[in-house]
A and B are shown apart, each in its own frame.
Chain A
Amino acid sequence: MNKLMSSRDAVAQIESGMTVGIGGWGPRRKPMALVRELLRSDVSDLTVVAYGGADVGMLCAAGKIKKLIFAFVSLDFIPLEPYFRQARQNASIDVMEIDEGLMLLGLKAAAMGAPYIPTAVGLGTDVVTTNPDLQVIESPYGGDKQWLAMPALNLDVALLHVDRADQRGVCQITGPDHYMDDLFARAANNTIVSCDELVETDYFHSDPQQARSVFWERSCTNAVVHIPCGAHPSSCTPLYGLDASHFKAYAASAKEEGGWQQYFDDYIAVGEEQYLTKVGGVEAVKALPLPIY
Chain B
Amino acid sequence: MTDETNPLADLLICACSKVWQGDGEVLASGMGLIQRIAASMAMVKNPDLMMTDSEAWIVSEPVPVGKRNGYQPQRETWMGFSRIFENLWSGARHALVGPTQIDRFGQANISAIGEYAKPKIQMLGMRGFPGNSMSHANSFFVPAHSKRVFVAGEVDTVCSIGYNPDRLPKGYSFADIDIRYIVTNLCVLSFADDSKRIQLDSLHPGVELQEVVDNTGFELLIPDNVSTTPQPDADDLVILQRVDPNNLRLKAI
Contact = CB atoms under 8 A, between A and B. Distances in A.
A101 interface: yes
Contacts of B172: 120, 123-124, 145-146
Contact of B118 (A89, A120, A144): A89
Determine the main DSSP class of B at the interface with A.
loop
B89 A126 contact: no
Given A146-B170, A179-B80, A104 B125 contact: no
Interface in A116-134: 119-127, 129-130
Given A89-B119, A89-B120, A100-B85, A145 B130 contact: no
Interface stretch (B160-168, B184-192, B194-202): B160-168
A73 B1 CA distance: 38
B85 A89 contact: no
Contacts of B57: 176
A1 interface: no
B68 interface: yes
Interface stretch (B40-48, B131-139, B229-237): B131-139
Given A71-B128, A97-B126, A91 B80 contact: no
A102 interface: yes
A85 B116 CA distance: 13
A87 B153 CA distance: 27
Interface in B220-239: none
A74 B82 CA distance: 18
B159 A126 contact: yes
Given A97-B111, A146-B169, A180-B82, A88 B119 contact: yes
A204 interface: no
Contact of A88 (B112, B135, B169): B112
B17 interface: no
A266 interface: no
Determine the main DSSP class of A at the interface with B.
loop
A156 to B, nearest CB: 23
Nearest to B159: A125
A292 B80 contact: no
A260 interface: no
Nearest to B110: A72
A144 B67 contact: no
B216 interface: no
A52 B125 CA distance: 10
Contacts of B158: 124-126, 129
A293 B79 CA distance: 14
Given A84-B122, A179-B80, A293-B53, 9 more contacts: A85-B122, A89-B118, A98-B130, A99-B129, A100-B81, A120-B172, A124-B162, A176-B57, A180-B81
Interface of B: 53-57, 66-68, 78, 80-82, 85, 88-89, 107, 111-112, 116-131, 133-135, 157-162, 164, 167-172, 176
Interface of A: 25, 52, 70-74, 79-80, 84-85, 88-91, 97-102, 104, 119-127, 129-130, 136, 143-146, 176-180, 183, 292-293
21 contacts: A73-B124, A80-B124, A88-B122, A89-B118, A89-B122, A99-B131, A100-B85, A101-B131, A121-B89, A122-B134, A126-B116, A126-B126, A126-B157, A129-B158, A130-B116, A145-B171, A176-B55, A179-B81, A292-B66, A293-B54, A293-B55
Closest 3 CB pairs of A and B: A145-B171, A124-B161, A176-B56
